[in-house]
Amino acid sequence: MRAVPGEGGSRPEGHEAVTLRISRLSEYVTVYLRLGLAAGFLSAVTDRLGIWGPYGSPNVAWGDMPHFLTHAAKLNPWFPDIVIPLLGIVVTIAEFALGSSLLLGLFTRQAARLSGWLVLGFGIGMTVGTGFKSALNASVFAFSGGAWSLARASEYPLSLDSLRLACRSGRSAISGIPRHEERRGCQSEQHRIDEKEVRSNGPA
């Protein structure tokens, strides 16, 4: 690898480009967070709808709404029994809506904030109803913290939010960087390739 002069001695050519690529790759952590949180919500919803199998099947928590409502009643001892069915339906709709929003990356920041509060509520209910250890086993506090971390992100690549932003501001929906900067980067790369070809071919 050819070295070029720099501060503090020589450094490998392309070092800045590699650093920039690594920095851009780290921005895609939000994609991992979005998909992980969405999977948690949608897996829970489809479980209580029986999609993963009936109650008692391997890795099935509830298997149907009645078993889920029984569990919900334990987590909400401050509500009368008559309210539990409505509460279960509202929570299921909320989880489906938030999971779908995070999966698509639509209104990501708002969905992430609401997800953090909702799952924190689950954690409090589990602590009261089934014990603090059960909340730790379910990783609800980690889930909640991850949702709030996602809400603090500056950009959401590979999402419908980035696509909407690209339509308004002329930014790349995939990389999240201005298109004129991408074009300038491509031109610089092409210029370097042309220079290498000239050096390899020698003088005419």
User: How far, in Å, CA of 134 to CA of 103, rounded?
Assistant: 27
User: How far, in Å, CA of 198 to CA of 204, rounded?
Assistant: 9
- Asked if 143 contacts 44 with a C-beta cutoff of 8 angstroms, the reply is no
**Torsion sign, CA atoms 27, 29, 33, 35:** positive
Q: Is 0.85 surpassed by the pTM of this model?
A: no
Tell me how many helices (H) and strands (E) the chain has: 9, 2
Domain edges within the chain: 28-156, 158-192
* Residue showing tokens 């059960």: 134
User: How far, in Å, CA of 188 to CA of 164, rounded?
Assistant: 28
pLDDT category, 149, cuts 50, 70, 90? very high
* Residue showing tokens 């949180």: 37
Count other C-beta atoms under 10 Å from residue 159's C-beta. Answer: 22
Token representation of residue 112: 């992430």
- 73-115-61 Cα angle (round to 5): 45
User: How far, in Å, CA of 116 to CA of 145, rounded?
Assistant: 7
- pLDDT at 196 > cutoff 70: no
pLDDT tens profile 4-52: 454 444 454 566 776 777 667 777 899 999 999 999 999 999 999 999 9
Token representation of residue 187: 């031109």
Token representation of residue 147: 């949702």
pLDDT category, 148, cuts 50, 70, 90? very high
